[in-house]
Structure 1
Amino acid sequence: MPLLDDFRKKEFLDQITVLNEIAGSKDPSALPGLIDLLKSPVGDTSIDYMVVNALNAVLSQDEDRTVEGLTDSHPGFRILCIRVAGEHRFTKAATVLTKLAETEDDPDRLMEILTSLSHISTPETLPVFRKFMQNDDPFIQSLCIEALGKLKDEESVPALKQVVNESEAPERYEVCEITTWKAVEALASIQTDETLAFLVEKLHHKNPTVRRIITDAMISIGNQVIPLLLAAFEKGDEDHKILSANVLGFIGDKACADGLVAAFDKGLATTANVRYALFEALGRVGTMKGIICLVDGLNETEELTLMAVVTGLERHVNPGMVSQLTKRISAADDQAERLAKAVINARAARLFDALYENAGAGDMLIDALSESRDPEIIEEFRSLLAEIGGSRADEDMARLPEIETGARKALAADDSKSMCAMHRAILTDLGFEPFIATNGQEAFEFIEQGEDFDIILTDMNMPVMDGMELVGKVRNTPGFEDTPIIMVTTESEGSQQNLAEKTGVTAFITKPFKPDELKAKINELL
C-alpha cells in the first residue's frame, strides 16, 4: 500500500512518520503524491514544511523530473525545483534556467534562478552572468561577479576592473560596497598576469576595507604575486613600498626576503616608515640574508624601527647574531641603552637569556628592566632570572621594582608585534593597564566583554577588522561615544584622515613617532 494513500485522513503523528520515512528512503513512487500535497497543502504549517523537505529529498534523486518542474505552472513547485537544481548541481537544468533568467522580471525570482546557476557553474552560464552583472540590484550584481570569478572568465576582467576603479570615486570610496568586495575576489580567482598586476596596483586603495581584502587575497595567492610585489616595492611610492613589504612578510617565502634584502642593498628603503615595514617583513620570514639585514638594522636609532629589528631577531636567535648584539649592548653607550630597552619592551626572552651570560650586556638589560613600569614584563623576566639562577641573578631580581597595575585602562590594536610592544611600554609608563589586540576584532571583543577604557589606540590597516571598522563599531557602542581614539597612520596616509575623522577618530599620530610624542598626545586628550 503506497505510503501516501489516505494521507490527509491520517493522524498528525502518523503523517510525520510517513514524511520522515519518505525523506529518508527518497522513494520515487512518492513523488506524485508529494507534489499534490505541495500544490494543495493540508494547512498545518509543520506538515506542509515536512512535505517540502520530503519532496526536496526525492527530487534530489531525479534530475529529469526536477528539470521538468522548472517550467511548472505552480510557482511554489517551480521555485523548489530551481533550488534543488542548484543545490545538487543538475547540469541538465542550466539551459532551462538560463532561458528563465532572460525573461524573469521579478528580482527575487531572478535571484533564485541566478543562485541556482551559480551553483551549477558551467561555461554556458557565462553570458547570463555577464549580462546581469550590470543589473541595478547590488546583490544580483555581486552574485554574478562571484560566479564570473569562480568560472575564471577572462572576458569579464575589464568590467571587474571598472568596478574597483569606480569604487575610488570621491562620492563612493568611504564605503566598501559589496560589489567592490566581490570584484576584488573575482579578479584574484581569475589569476592572470593582468588581474594580479591590477590588484597589486590597488594595494593602497582609498578604502581601508578594500585594502584589507586585496591584502588577504595576495597572501592567499602567495608565490605567484611575489615578483609583482617586489616590483611594487622597487618602483612604487612610500605607501606601496610599505604595503608590499607587509604582504611579502606574511607570504613568508624565501624569495620574499631575498627580494627585500636586494631592494634594501639598492638603497630603496630610505624613509623610517619603509625601513620599519621592511624589518618587520624580514623578521617574519627569517632567511639568513634577512637576519644579516636585521643585524645591520641594530644601528637604527628610531625606537619603533629598532623595536621591529629586535622583534624580528627574537624569532631567529643564533650564535652569530647574539655575539653581535652582545658586543653592541656591552658598549654601554646611547645605542646600547636603546637596544637594551628594545629587548625588554619586546619581551624578547630568548635574546635576554642568551645576552645575560655576558655580565656587561646583562647589567644593561637589568638597568632597562628596572626602569620598566609594566608589571607583566617585570614578572616575566623575574621568572626568567629565577630559572637562570645563581647569586648574580638573585641580586638582579632584588633590584627589580614592585609595580601595581594601573588604575586607568587603555586599549591598543595593531597587527605589528613591535608596535604592540611600543604601545604597551608607553601606556604602562603613563600608569595605564594596557589591553593589547592584534586586530580590530580582538580589540572590540574586550569591549563586548564589558571592559571600559579611558583611551583607545588603533592602527589603520589591520587584518580581520581594520581600524576604520573598529572605530565605527566603538562609536556605536553605548558608553564609548566620547572615548578618545588615537589612530596611528603613516605620513602619506594624510588623505585618509578626513575619512577617519568622519568615522569618529579623535586624533592622529604618524609613524615613526617617538614615545614622548604619543605620551604628549594621550595627556593632551585626557
Structure 2
Amino acid sequence: MAMLDDFRNKEFLDQITILNEISGSKDPEALPGLMALLKEPVGDTSIDYMVVNALNAVLSNNEDIVIQGLTDDHEGFNILCIRVAGEYALKNAVPSLASMTEKEQDPDRLMEIITSLARIADPQALPVFRKFLDHEDAFIQSACIEALGKLSDTESIGRFKAMIEESEAPDRFEVCDITTWKAVDTLAGFRSDDTIGFLVAKLHHKNPTVRRIITDALVSIGTQCVPMLLGSFETGNTDDKILTANVLGFIGHRSGADGLVAALDKGLAANENVRYAVYEALGRIGTMKGIICLVDGLSETEELILMAVIGGLGNHVNPGMIATLTKLIAEGDDQSARLVKAIIASKATAIFDALYENPEAGDALIEVLAKSKDPHILEEFRAVLVDIDDERSKRDLKRLPQVSTGSRKALAADDSRSMCAMHRAILTDLGFEPFIAVNGEEAYDFIEEGEEFEVIVTDMNMPVMDGMELVAKIRSTPGMEDTPIIMVTTESEMSQQDLASKAGVTAFITKPFKPDELKMKINEITR
C-alpha cells in the first residue's frame, strides 16, 4: 500500500496519522505492509502498539485472512489472529481453533485459544471445553467452566457439582480456588431447581469464602430460592438455619418472612443464634407477620437478640408497636431496662422519637442516653431532640454530655446492624474510637486510607468480603502483622477455628456473648 511506502523513514507524527487512517478505513491492501511492520517492529513502543491496533482493525474485516493466520509461522501474527477471531466472534474460525487445541502443549497459547473459543460461544466448541475441564491449569479450567455455563451445557452440571464437592476435601478446603468459585457461579446461572437445590445444600461449605460466594449467588437468583431455603431451615442443623435465615433476609421476599415466622411457631428456632438470625431477617423483610413476630420478640432477655429485635422494629415503626413498647417500659422492671438500653445502643431514633411523646418512657430513654460515652450515638439522638423542639426536649438536651472521640482506635466488621451497634457500644465503653464496617471490603478501606487500629473485631461470615479474607489481607499488610484480631463465630463454627488461626486470628469469641465477655477479651489481648 502506497501509504506504508518508506514508512520507517517518515516523521513520528506522519506515522501516527497513517496508522490512524488505516485503522479507520480497514483497507485490506495495507495488510502486507502491516504484517511486515509486525514481524520487524520499528522499535518505538507507541508506533509498534499502533501497528498492532491497525492490523487488528484490518483483520476484523477480513475473516478469511484471520483463519489463514491461525496457522501462520509468525507467533505474534498467529496470536493476533487467535484474539481477533474471538474478539469479533468469527464462527468460521471455530474448527481451526478447536483443531489447534489438540496438539497445543504450551498452556499460555492454549489459554489464548480457549479464551477465543469462549468469546465466540459456538456449540461446535463444546467438546473442547468438556475435554479441558480437568486441565491441570486452574485458569484453563475456569475458562472452560465459564464457557460451558454460557452455552448452558447441562451435560457438565454433574462435573461442576463434583468440583464443589471435591473442594471440601481435607487437603483442599482451606483455600477457595478459582475453579470452585467459577463452578458456583456457573451452577447459579442455570437457575434450575436441581442446581439451586445443590447450592442450598452446600450453603455451609467448609470454606468461608465459598460460603460467601454461594450466599451471593443465591441472593442474586432471588425468590426462586425461597422454597428450598425454607426446606433447609426446616430440616437442617443449626448452621443451616442460621445461614438460610441470613440469605432469606437478603432476598427480602414476603414468602421468606412468612416461612420463618411459621418455623418460629413450630419451635424450630430454640437455639439463640438461630433466633438472632431469624429476627435480623424479619427486620430486613418487614412484612406484617414479621413485625408481629418481632413485637413478640420484645420479651427476649439476651442482649444481642433483643438488639436484633429492636433493630428490625426500628425500620417499621407503627402505633401498635409503640403502644406495646410504652407499656413494657412503664413496668420499670429488668426487661424495661434492657429494652431502653437496646433502643439507645441500636440508634433506633424513629422508635425513640415515637416513645418520647410519653413522658415516663421519654425520661427512661434520656436517663440511659445521658450515660452514653459514644459521641456518634449522642449526636444522632441530639438531632431528634432538636427536631422535637419543645420545652421538655430543650431541658433534656442540656442533660446530654459532650463527649469527644477516644485517642485509641478500633475496627469492627459485621454485616449485622445489631452486632455493629453492640460492637460500637463495647468499644466506646473501653475508650476506643470505633470504626464500623458492614463487610470485610469496607473494613479494609479504612486500613487503605491509613487508619491505624489497636484492635480489630470481625465476623466470620459476611457478604462481599468475609472475615477470613479480611484477616488474610490484614496480615499481608506491612505493619499489621501483629495487630490483635478477634473473630466472632457461632458455637457450631468452632470447628473452623483452626483454619482461622492459620489465617492469623489472635482470639475468638462465640455468639451469643455478653458485652462484658468481649470487653474482657479485648482487654486481654491489648495489654
TM-score calculated relative to the size of structure 1: 0.97
Shift of 1:80: 0.7
Aligned residue number for residue 427 of structure 2: 427
Aligned residue number for residue 279 of structure 1: 279
Shift of 1:521: 1.3
Aligned residue number for residue 302 of structure 2: 302
Range with greater deviation from structure 2 (394-403 or 82-91):
394-403
Q: Is the 8 A contact 1:408 1:433 kept in 2?
A: yes
Aligned residue number for residue 147 of structure 2: 147
Aligned residue number for residue 95 of structure 2: 95
Shift of 1:44: 4.0
Amino acid at match of 1:71: T
Aligned residue number for residue 461 of structure 1: 461
Shift of 1:9: 4.1
Aligned residue number for residue 482 of structure 1: 482
2:241 is the alignment partner of 1:241: yes
Counterpart secondary structure, 1:433: strand
Q: How many residues align?
A: 526
Aligned residue number for residue 208 of structure 1: 208
Output one character per residue of 1:18-55: Cα deviation in whole Å (capped at 9) or x when no partner. 11111122223322332333234444443332211101
Aligned residue number for residue 177 of structure 2: 177
Q: Is the 8 A contact 1:153 1:190 kept in 2?
A: no
Distance 1:484 1:75 in 2: 52
Distance 1:269 1:462 in 2: 21
Aligned residue number for residue 365 of structure 2: 365
Q: Which runs of 5 or more residues in structure 1 are unaligned? A: none
Counterpart secondary structure, 2:3: coil
Distance 1:46 1:449 in 2: 35
1:427/1:45 Cα in 2 relative to 1: closer, same or farther (>3 Å)?
closer
Aligned residue number for residue 12 of structure 2: 12
Distance 2:24 2:378 in 1: 63
Distance 2:46 2:484 in 1: 53
Aligned residue number for residue 196 of structure 1: 196
Shift of 1:4: 2.3
Distance 1:450 1:74 in 2: 49
Range with greater deviation from structure 2 (472-481 or 483-492):
472-481
Distance 1:398 1:12 in 2: 74
Aligned residue number for residue 251 of structure 1: 251
Q: Is the 8 A contact 1:411 1:456 kept in 2?
A: yes
Distance 1:250 1:337 in 2: 31
2:79 is the alignment partner of 1:79: yes
Aligned residue number for residue 391 of structure 1: 391
Distance 1:447 1:43 in 2: 43
Amino acid at match of 2:326: T
Aligned residue number for residue 346 of structure 1: 346
Range with greater deviation from structure 2 (290-299 or 393-402):
393-402
Range with greater deviation from structure 2 (426-435 or 5-14):
5-14
Counterpart secondary structure, 1:133: helix
Amino acid at match of 2:128: V
Matches within 5 A, 1:8-87: 8-87=8-87
Aligned residue number for residue 267 of structure 2: 267
Distance 2:477 2:161 in 1: 36
Output one character per residue of 1:387-435: Cα deviation in whole Å (capped at 9) or x when no partner. 2122211222222223232232111110111100000111111111111
Distance 2:327 2:28 in 1: 82
Q: Which runs of 5 or more residues in structure 2 are unaligned? A: none
Q: Is the 8 A contact 1:509 1:518 kept in 2?
A: yes
Matches within 5 A, 1:375-524: 375-524=375-524
Range with greater deviation from structure 2 (270-279 or 381-390):
381-390
Shift of 1:386: 1.9
Amino acid at match of 1:431: G
Output one character per residue of 1:158-199: Cα deviation in whole Å (capped at 9) or x when no partner. 211111111111111111111111111111112222221111
Range with greater deviation from structure 2 (313-322 or 352-361):
313-322
Aligned residue number for residue 162 of structure 1: 162
Counterpart secondary structure, 1:508: strand
Output one character per residue of 1:215-271: Cα deviation in whole Å (capped at 9) or x when no partner. 110011111111111111111111010000101111111111111111111111111
Distance 1:231 1:220 in 2: 19
Counterpart secondary structure, 1:371: coil
Range with greater deviation from structure 2 (66-75 or 171-180):
66-75
RMSD: 1.5
Amino acid at match of 1:517: E
TM-score calculated relative to the size of structure 2: 0.97
Counterpart secondary structure, 1:458: strand
Distance 1:253 1:500 in 2: 33
Counterpart secondary structure, 2:291: helix
Shift of 1:150: 1.6
Range with greater deviation from structure 2 (220-229 or 66-75):
66-75
Distance 1:515 1:41 in 2: 69
1:386/1:16 Cα in 2 relative to 1: closer, same or farther (>3 Å)?
closer
Range with greater deviation from structure 2 (150-159 or 284-293):
150-159
Shift of 1:73: 3.0
Amino acid at match of 2:123: P
Distance 2:401 2:42 in 1: 79
Counterpart secondary structure, 2:255: helix
Distance 1:2 1:260 in 2: 76
Counterpart secondary structure, 1:3: helix
